[in-house]
Amino acid sequence: MGNLSVLIACVVFLVSLLHEAIATAARTQNGSEAWGYVQVRPKAHMFWWLYRSPYRVENPSKPWPVILWLQGGPGASGVGLGNFQEIGPLNLNLKPRNSTWLRMADLLFVDNPVGTGYSYVEESNLFVKTDEEAATDLTILLEEIFNRIESLQKSPLYIVAESYGGKFAVTLGLSALQAIESGKLKGKLGGVVLGDTWISPEDFVLSWGPLLKDVSRLDNNGVEKANSLAEKIKQQIGDGQYASATNSWAELEGVISRSSSSVDFYNFLLDSGMDSVSLTAAELSQGMAMKRYIRYLSSLGSSPGGDGDIDSLMNGPIKKKLKIIPDNISWGGQADEVFSNLAGDFMRPRINEVDELLAKGVNVTVYNGQLDLICATKGTEAWVDKLKWEGLPSFLKMDRAPLYCGNDILTRGFTKSYKNFHFYWILGAGHFVPVDQACIALNMIGAITESPAASSA
Residues carrying an active site annotation: 163, 372, 431
Secondary element (H or E) of residue 175:
helix 165-181
* Closest to 62 in 3D by CA, of 332, 328, 456: 456
Q: How far apart are CA 383 and CA 201, in angstroms?
A: 9
**What DSSP designation does 288 have?**
I
Q: For residues 406 and 439, is the Cβ–Cβ distance under 8 A? A: yes
Helix (H, G, I), strand (E, B) or coil at 408: coil
* Closest to 108 in 3D by CA, of 173, 73, 152, 147: 152
Q: For residues 369 and 402, is the Cβ–Cβ distance under 8 A? A: no
Cα dist. 202→381, 382, 386 in Å?
12, 10, 12
CA contacts within 13 A on the Cβ side of 269: 9
Burial of 135-153, coded b for 16+ CB within 10 Å and e otherwise, reads bbbbbbbbbbbbbbbebbe
Q: Decide: residue 333, CB within 10 A, 0-12 exposed, 13-18 middle, 19+ buried.
A: middle
Estimate the crossing angle of helix 220-238 against helix 201-214, to 10 degrees. 170
Residue 156: asked if its preceding bond is cis (omega within 30°), the reply is: no
Q: How far apart are CA 59 and CA 451, in angstroms?
A: 9
User: What is the phi/psi pair of residue 81, to 5°?
Assistant: -70, -55
The DSSP secondary structure of 81-103, one letter per residue, reads: IIIIIIISSB-TTS-B-TT-GGG
* Closest to 214 in 3D by CA, of 169, 268, 262: 268
Q: How far apart are CA 401 and CA 417, in angstroms?
A: 10
Task: Calculate the CA 203 to chain-centre distance.
Answer: 19
**What DSSP designation does 400 have?**
P
Secondary element (H or E) of residue 229:
helix 220-238
